[in-house]
Structure 1
Amino acid sequence: MAKTSPGEFVNQVKTEWSKIAWPTRRETLMTAVLVVIMTSLLGIFFFGIDTFFGAIVQWLLSLASGR
Structure 2
Amino acid sequence: MAMNREQKRALQKAGQLAEDGTPIRGERRDPAQRLRQERTSPGQFVREVRSELRKVGWPTRKETARLSLIVFVAIVIMTAFIFAIDLGFTKVVDFLYPSPSSLSIAISAVLPFL
Tell me if both proteins adopt one fold, taking TM over 0.5 as the criterion.
Answer: yes
Q: 2: distance between equivalents of 1:51 and 1:10? A: 51
Distance 1:52 1:18, change over 3 A: same
Given the alignment, which residue of 47, 51, 65 partners 1:29?
A: 65
TM-score, structure 2 normalization: 0.48
Q: Distance in 1 between matches of 2:48 and 2:91?
A: 60
Q: Distance in 1 between matches of 2:80 and 2:43?
A: 53
Query: Does the C-alpha gap of structure 1 residues 55 and 5 become closer, same or farther in structure 2, counting only changes over 3 Å?
Result: closer
2:92 aligned residue (50, 53, 56): 56
- How far apart are the structure 2 equivalents of 1:41 and 1:48? 11
Cα gap change, 1:52/1:22 in structure 2, threshold over 3 Å: closer, same or farther? Answer: same
Distance 1:38 1:7 in 2: 41
How many pairs are equivalent? 64
Larger helix proportion of the pair:
1
In structure 1, list runs of 5 or more residues that go unmatched.
none
Q: TM-score, normalised by structure 1?
A: 0.76
Give 2:11's aligned residue.
none
**Aligned mates of 1:35, 1:42 — CA distance in 2:** 10
